[in-house]
Amino acid sequence: MATPFKRSALTLLAASLAASSLFSTGAQAEGKISIAQQFGIGYLILDVVRDQNLIEKHGKEQGLDIKVDWNSISGATAMNEALLTGSLDVVSAGVPPMLTVWDRTKGKQNVKAIAALGSMPNYLLTNNPNIKTLKDFTDKDRIAVPAAGVGFQSRTLQIETAKEFGDAQYKKFDDISVSLPHPDATAALIAGGSEINSHFSSPPFQYQALQNPNVHKVLSSYDVLGGQATFNVLYTTEKFHDENPKTYKAFYDALAEAEKIIKADKPAAAQAYIRVEQSKLPLALVEQIVKDPEIDFTVVPQRTFIYAEKLQELGVLKNKADSWKDYFFEEAHDGAGS
């Protein structure tokens, strides 16, 4: 799937991480924000924000001309590195990677979540007909994930693995997990014949893959979490939050407006996704996904605390959160989150 973002941006970003740290100590001037998102319809809220220039709109309401720098990166590890070196102001990833960086920066950069980007199921898919449950995976299988061992999909798999095989075995499938962006993993799964025979996917890629009769679902993240749950979130440092109150407010208000726009006109939101992402997916399929009752494009976090509890119990997180509000900035606290 083509996107308007240059894939070389990831390479350029990785090459500039060290150099960018030279600038990370300077104060961020109000009116500038650099944002990174990953691939997939899980970032529809951001696509609508970008399509409708909502950050700029809400900035002007505060008398501020905001310059927005959009980037695309695959994988939570690269996201977190870019945030902590000052290359980016706001990054996006699944709930577990956000919790990991919240945990590691507590008392230092104090990274916290800004808002959820929506609740949607992620499916563990395979083209191996012998795999029906987790117990059927062997050392010969390979599971593609965006960030092996640390991303949303890997952490979700670890939590389910702990249930099935015991806490001591929660990393059982890390050795057969391979880091690969969703578009590439989807192509490999559909084509077959490669070492990648499984993929812990996300929308829209999972629906695209399931159109192939050789691909079937093994597990849904909703099965693991007990229902509708936040897939990905946006997060930033305490420094950016505190030093840029107008820019931050404009960004949060833009996200909230994008949610309303999507819910008011889902077909138009689907068109915005194709426009911004330059997606080659059929519009009808994208509309079907946006209208899927399992999916809720909302800035309100849902069931994120399950990750905070389980990952702390497994020893992945050192710090114990008392509630979801511990790792979300206060602007998000008014919603009925969890």
Give the per-residue pLDDT at 270.
Answer: 97
Q: What are phi and psi of 109, to 5 degrees?
A: -75, -20
The span from the CA of 35 to the CA of 48, in Å, is: 14
List Cα–Cα distances, 144 to 72, 141, 157, 325, in angstroms: 19, 10, 12, 32
Q: Which domains does the chain have, with CATH numbers?
A: 8-17+29-119+229-332 (3.40.190.10), 123-225 (3.40.190)
Q: Which residues pair with 112 in a beta bridge?
A: 236
Residue 140 tokens read as 């010969």
Give the pLDDT of residue 29.
66
Block mean pLDDT (10 aa), the chain, length 338: 40 40 48 92 96 98 95 83 94 93 97 97 97 97 92 94 96 96 95 96 92 97 95 96 97 98 97 94 93 96 97 96 97 91
Give the pLDDT confidence score for residue 336 in this predicted structure: 87
CA dist 92 and 72 (Å) reads: 10
pLDDT value for 290: 95
Predicted structure pTM score:
0.84
Distance CA 275, CA 91 (A): 22
If you search the block for the tokens 């001037």, which residue do you land on?
Answer: 29
Q: What is the pLDDT of residue 1?
A: 40
pLDDT recorded at residue 16 = 44
Q: Tokens standing for 201?
A: 């996917």
Give me the sign of the Cα torsion angle 286, 287, 292, 297. Answer: positive
- 315 φ/ψ sector (left φ>0, alpha ψ -120 to 50, else beta): left
Give me the residue label for tokens 């799964």: 189
